[in-house]
Structure 1
Amino acid sequence: MKPASYKWQFAQRFRRHAFGWRSDVPIQRIKEALTEIKLIARTDPVLAADGAVKFLEKISPALEHVDGSSGAIGSAVNRAIEVLVPIMAGAQVDAVMRQSWLERLWEAIQDQGVPYIEGLSDEWGKLCVTAEIANTWADRFIDLVEHVWSDGPGGYFAGTTICLASLYAAGRHAQLLALVEHAPFKQWHYRCWGVKALLAMGRKAEALADAEDTRGLNSPDGQIAQACEAILLSSGLADEAYQRYAREANLGTTYLATFRAIAKKYPHIAPQTILRDLVAASPGEPGKWFAAAKDAGLFDLAIELVNGSPTDPRTLTRAARDFAQKQPEFAMAAGLAALRWMSQGYGYEITGIDVLDASRATLQAAVHAGADAESVREQIRLSVSGTSPHADFVSRALQAI
């Protein structure tokens, strides 16, 4: 089945060197292209898959002048690959059409000036769909990979990962292991395929050892930890997985995200235990786990953390305001802590409004807690007492209430 004729709207927007150095416009255009392709996929999966191939052919040349230093444009392209691979793999076409798509993608990988779509190589086995097609790509590249690797660490071939992924997809696990053993360096990007092959062969202990053996200077330890954690979890060794890899394998963009990921993966471990373990593994910054403790409903632990370590005052003020009625004692303690850390100079560009917000949230929580207002005001005054310029600033701001 061949794709129908269709004029893709994104095609004109992704001409070679279509974008300048700023990344905001191309990121938006990528989102629009994905929306267009996904919309077509609802009614014509083959046409959508062909559109995905066309998009991936065009993306790298179009982005050559974009400043990728922030990582935003690279992340957008990687997200696009995540969305498009299932669309391409899921289209029902014959082997001739699928091979044609793969040839086009291979040409795009070779021609890209900036390697935006190199992540496609990791997905090659999925894109092949069948073992027969995977075999053709493995046979096509294996001799060249062996030759390049025999020349030492300086050799490079853009199809190396495609070869490894194809060997794995074709079920040629022993051959894949032998090939990876000839790599001139221990690089996780390649050795992960050997780990996958060992797992497919039921050799989990060896897979774990091989993964750990890949650690070294500049190695992606988070990815290695994720692989090791998965091996132990699949072996029913959840406690060992938790002790050895949970934190490293589940580091999120925020402390709260890290806690949530671990708590979800290890439901048999009490949230308080997880949090205390995370705090112990982060010496010098227990207060940064405040939001995680609050989110888990561990209010006593949350206050214990912020009383012993600096925490962003605005975060504490929001907690005081949000929990004034539901958990007034916790909210009052959070508000007092916010004022105390402000008076000690913590917080970015703290203003008088921030001081007043924290004070008002504290007093509001005190009302719901049934506390004596004058007593709470005295606690506020004591919490900001001091001789530093920051303490003087906070004290003057509080005179307005």
Structure 2
Amino acid sequence: MPVLPPGQAASALRGALIAIELLCGVAGRAVSLPGAGVLSERAAIMGLRRDAPRSPRGAFRVLRAADGWVGVNLARASDVELVPAWLEAADPDLDAEIARRGAGELAERARLLGLPFAVLPSGPDEQLIARGQVPQVRPFVLSGGPGAQRWELPPTLVVDLSSLWAGPLCGHLLTLAGARVVKVESWSRPDGARSGNREFYDLLHAGQESVALDFGAPEGRAALGRLIEAADVVIEGSRPRALRQLGIDADEVLARARDKVWISITAYGRTGPWANVPGFGDDAALAGGLLAFDPVTGVPAPVGDAIADPVTGVNAALVAVACRMAGGSWLADLALREQIAATVDVPGEPGPLGEVAGPVARTPAGRAPELGADTERVLAELEGSC
């Protein structure tokens, strides 16, 4: 049976979508965006259902440690392979091994190994403090400043380097708002969502262009740099050190730019001691304090399907539109964990559960382009404009 979650994630997401529509309206552009149903579109397309204490997709699981609730996300084969080293046991019983350890010890070892793991918070931690997210968590950390004030939304070229759900949802919403979105991927390591459900991938990427590059080759990195320089909005979901390895530094790019928005999406933020800690939508939501409990059985229930991803994607689109209208160069630092924490840290008591509708998905507007389908044309156009 459905249970009432803490916080106001759905309301916050719906409010952000309305705000995007209103901003576009102020700029003279009528835009109609989907509603809060974007939270559950992937579940609707893939036929996912509640499976507490596991996530709908089954990779994330909530467990009881010796001193609190924790969650581990074994979404990748490499994560599963890390479990014996993490728990220092050849064939560990996950429940038993976690139950006899403290949450802090488990978290420390998981971070050393790069394993997506989260602890249900009981108060501010070193990461929130370091990022200035105390006493109140905000959905994004903005740096930069406006240019000449304008109340218009100029033509916008978006270069999307992100993958999976949060960043692509941002790109999808910007596509609906009239932006030109170019998705840029590595030939050798394309967006993992391409090998997932095709309908969901089409939903997020129809109407966009696809560029594929060899990031290991100098010419590929040079082309990537030119695309980023040409972009009005850059969306990326990499930890800062990963981009620096490609010779790209957001601060340096923005320092050269007069009018650019950089959308950075990470699990815990670009700064602070957890800046390079990996995470996905389900575990980041738990780290943000979002966990429900069955009132009859007491079983912990992850809320939604990787809920931090769609909440982050919508807020990323909102800040991209707002910053484009303000002008100037901006760095928007969005942490999956903080997106959810901002919706949980809402005063007031929740209302009754009421009737719960099943998830519903929109029909994709068309087919997403195949990997690299537009590479030559987009790069030639870029060269011709230089």
Q: TM-score normalized by structure 1?
A: 0.20
Highest relative contact order (Cα 8 Å, sep 6+), 1 or 2?
2
Q: 1 or 2, which has the higher helix percentage? A: 1
Q: 1 or 2, which has the higher strand percentage? A: 2
Q: Which has the larger radius of gyration?
A: 1
Q: TM-score normalized by structure 2?
A: 0.21
